[in-house]
Amino acid sequence: MHELAVTEYVFNLVKKQADANKVSHVDKIHLLIGDQCDYVPEIIEEYLQVMSEGTSLAGVKVDAKVKESTVLCKDCGAQFTRHEFKDACPKCGSANLKLNRCTDFIVENIEVS
């Protein structure tokens, strides 16, 4: 249920922006979520629907992109996404790797009307 806290964060952030810019309605929120965050975008959207009732965000949609963790080869310096990562560097075959866990959570932009 840790999506609740992050949804409150998103809601407050977007609401503030919307109010400051005198936006009449926020249609969509674009999120960038690191693959180590473990947030489920559908749940964030559900919470947002509830929280936004009667506000300028009512019925807002969420569009989430996943940002993949990267792996750095400590031998040859190659950098690749976790997706391509098996147990060895795809370039030099070294197993001397460092995983950079992506735990980013970013509100990329919002669509308004």
**Residues lying near Zn ion in the complex (CB under 5 A):** 73, 75-76, 78, 89, 91-92, 94
Q: Which is nearer to Zn ion, 14 or 89 (by Cβ)?
A: 89
- Least distance to Zn ion from the beta carbon of 41, Å? 33
For 22, the token pair is 């005198």
| Contact of 10 with 4, CB cutoff 8 Å | no
- Least distance to Zn ion from the beta carbon of 74, Å? 8
Please report how the helices 41-51 and 3-20 are oriented relative to each other, as an axis angle in degrees rounded to 10. Answer: 50
- Least distance to Zn ion from the beta carbon of 95, Å? 9
Q: Which is nearer to Zn ion, 24 or 87 (by Cβ)?
A: 87
| Contact of 111 with 82, CB cutoff 8 Å | no
- Least distance to Zn ion from the beta carbon of 69, Å? 17
Q: Which is nearer to Zn ion, 49 or 70 (by Cβ)?
A: 70
80 Cβ contact partners less than 8 Å away, ≥ 6 residues apart: 70, 71, 73, 89, 90
Q: Which amino acid is at 40?
A: V
Q: Which is nearer to Zn ion, 61 or 98 (by Cβ)?
A: 98
